[in-house]
Amino acid sequence: MKALLRKDLYTTVASLRTIFLIMAVFAVVTVLVENTGFYIPYLVVLPSTLGSTLINLDTREKWDRCALTLPVSRKTVVGARYVFMLLMILCGAAVGTVCFALRMMRGFESTGIAEAIAMCLAAALIVPSFLLPLAYKFGADKGRYIVIFLIMGLMIGMMSIWGDGYGFSGGISWLSPGILLIAAAGVYALSWAVSSKIYEKKEIG
């Protein structure tokens, strides 16, 4: 699996550079400007969009044919993709946590850091949970459009939850971020199983 993870990393180097540059810009802005807390969910969710890029590149380079010649099962190929996506999501969560902590130090936020990041992390897990099975089933291009609307819905929903539209203060006392995160992790695990089944039955020509 390590080799498959390295392959995904090397494949997405250009995309990662762009994503990290965007994240760096938003991170600086959200730390320095008070009414920009809504950028933090974006920082956490952004890396989770890499799944579509990976599958699109795999399709273009006919990676699936090459994968069949490797001494690994199809389930392992899918598993490596989900592990890679999880690592990227955790990187986004780390950046979001640092930004949120700095905003708290500057007096921009009052909500607990654990609750805020748990909400963002849950949203980031949901995106690939829908994207990857759709991409394996219908292809990256068709699956991408569905996920774009999903991401927009998640972002709008998260902003409405926090009420003021700018920060994380208030608005989430009725919802347990821990329960939401556990539920999102469950959906991610289910998505992993579904994608494995789809890929095992997929005809690769």
pLDDT in tens, 175-204: 577 788 899 999 999 999 999 999 988 877
Mean pLDDT, the chain, rounded, equals: 80
Q: Could you tell me if 103 and 33 are in contact, meaning their C-beta atoms sit under 8 angstroms apart?
A: no
Contacts for 49 with CB less than 8 Å, ≥ 6 apart: 127, 131, 147, 151
Predicted pLDDT at 37: 73
pLDDT value, residue 197 = 94
- Domains of the chain, residue spans: 2-200
- For the ranges 43-57, 69-83, 107-121, 128-142, the maximum mean pLDDT occurs at 69-83
Which residue intervals of 33-73 are DSSP H helices? 39-45, 50-60, 63-67
